[in-house]
Amino acid sequence: MLPIELQVKQSYYTQVLIIGLLSLGLGALAMLLEQRLWAKSFDREGVTRRDGRTFRWADLLAKNAIYRQRRHGGQGALNNYELVFKNGKALVFHLMLENAGEVMSFLDTVSAESKPI
C-alpha cells in the first residue's frame, strides 16, 4: 500500500483561481499558503508535507478529524484530518484529492497507538 502520493484535483486549482479573482488575490494567497501544510506523501517512515518537511510515524501524537460546523449547531460533514506530530502537523483534505479513497483507506489504519509499518 505504501508509498502513497496525495494527488490534488485540478478542480481545486480552479477554485483557487476563482476565489483569487473575487478577492483581488488575497483569498487565493491564503489558500496557497495553507496548502504548504498539506500532506504530499505517505511512506513507511512517515509523512512529507508540500513544503518539504517530514514527520516520522514514530512521532505521531494524534489523528484529529476536523468537522464542519453547521449553521444551527451540531457537527457537519468531515472536512479534513490533522495529523499531529511532536514537531508539527500535516493536514489531509480528502475532498480535494483524486485518490481520496486510497488515502482514506490508509488513514483508517493510522492512529497514535498503532503506527503504520
| Rounded average pLDDT per 10-residue block, the chain, 117 residues | 93 91 88 94 97 97 92 85 97 96 94 73
- Encoded amino acid at 114, one letter: S
Which sequence spans correspond to the domains of the chain?
4-108
Residue 69 CB contacts under 8 Å (≥ 6 apart), including other chains: 75, 76
- Encoded amino acid at 44, one letter: R
Burial class (CB in 10 A: 0-12, 13-18, 19+), 58: exposed
* pLDDT the model gives residue 24: 86
**How many CB atoms within 10 Å of residue 109?**
10
CA dist 50 and 82 (Å) reads 14
Q: Are 33 and 91 in contact (CB under 8 A)?
A: no
C-alpha cell at 12: 481545486
46 forms bridges with which residues in the sheet?
56
* pLDDT the model gives residue 86: 97
User: Does the predicted model carry a pTM greater than 0.85?
Assistant: yes
- Encoded amino acid at 43, one letter: D
* pLDDT the model gives residue 117: 60
Q: How far is CA 114 from CA 57, 70, 81, 91, 98, in A?
A: 9, 32, 17, 19, 26
